[in-house]
Amino acid sequence: MPAFDAISLIKWLHFILLSIAGGGAVVALLLSGFEDEREDLRGLAATIWKRTVSWGFRLALVVGIGALLIHMRNGNNLLLEHYMHVKLTLVLIILACSEMAPRGLAVGKRGAAMMALLLFLLTSFVVYNQNIFGKKAKASPMPVPMAQTAPDGAMHTDR
C-alpha cells in the first residue's frame, strides 16, 4: 500500500479551491449582466462573489502557501523557479482585484471582477506553461574529433 502523499492532497485541494473561485467568477459576471434588466437578481452577483469567489481565492492562497512550504521542507525550493515569481505577482494582484470586486458589482461596475478573472486565466496559463518562463537553452558542446590511427601507425584527425 503506498504511503500517504501530503503534497498530492494539498495540490488537489488547491486545484479544487481555484476551480470553485474561477467558476464562481464566471457565474457572478454572467449574473451581473442580467441585474440591470431583472430586479429579482439585483445584488446576487456581488453576494456570489463575496461568498464564493473571494473565499475560494483566499483559501487557495493559504493552501498554496502550505504546498510551497511542504515542497521547501522536502528540499525542492520552488521560489528559485522564475515562473513562480510571475505566478506569485499575479496572485497578489488577483487577490486585490477580488477583494474590490464585490463592492464594484454591487453598484454595477464589473472592472475589478473582470480583471480578477482575466488574471486568473493568465496565471493558469503561466502555471501550465511554466517551462517557457526563464529557461535558457544550454549550449551543447561541440564534438571533439577523435584521433584515428592509420595502418602505418600515424595519427590522423577527421578534419
Is 62 within the bounds of a domain?
Answer: yes
Domain residue limits at 93: 6-131
pLDDT at 7 exceeding the cut of 60:
yes
Ordered alpha helix ranges (H), 50-142: 54-73, 82-106, 111-128
Q: Give the CATH number for residue 121.
A: 1.20.120
pLDDT at 125 exceeding the cut of 80:
yes
Question: Rounded distance, CA 103 to CA 49, Å?
Answer: 10
Is 139 within the bounds of a domain?
Answer: no
Is 136 within the bounds of a domain?
Answer: no
Sorting pLDDT into bands at 50, 70 and 90, what band is 159? low
Is 151 within the bounds of a domain?
Answer: no
pLDDT at 36: 75
* Chain mean pLDDT for the chain: 83
Question: Rounded distance, CA 24 to CA 108, Å?
Answer: 17
More confident residue, 158 or 133: 133
Is 145 within the bounds of a domain?
Answer: no
Into how many domains does the chain fold? 1
Q: What is the pLDDT of residues 18-59, one digit of tens each?
A: 999 999 999 999 988 877 778 777 888 889 999 999 999 999
Is 81 within the bounds of a domain?
Answer: yes
pLDDT at 40: 73
Is 155 within the bounds of a domain?
Answer: no
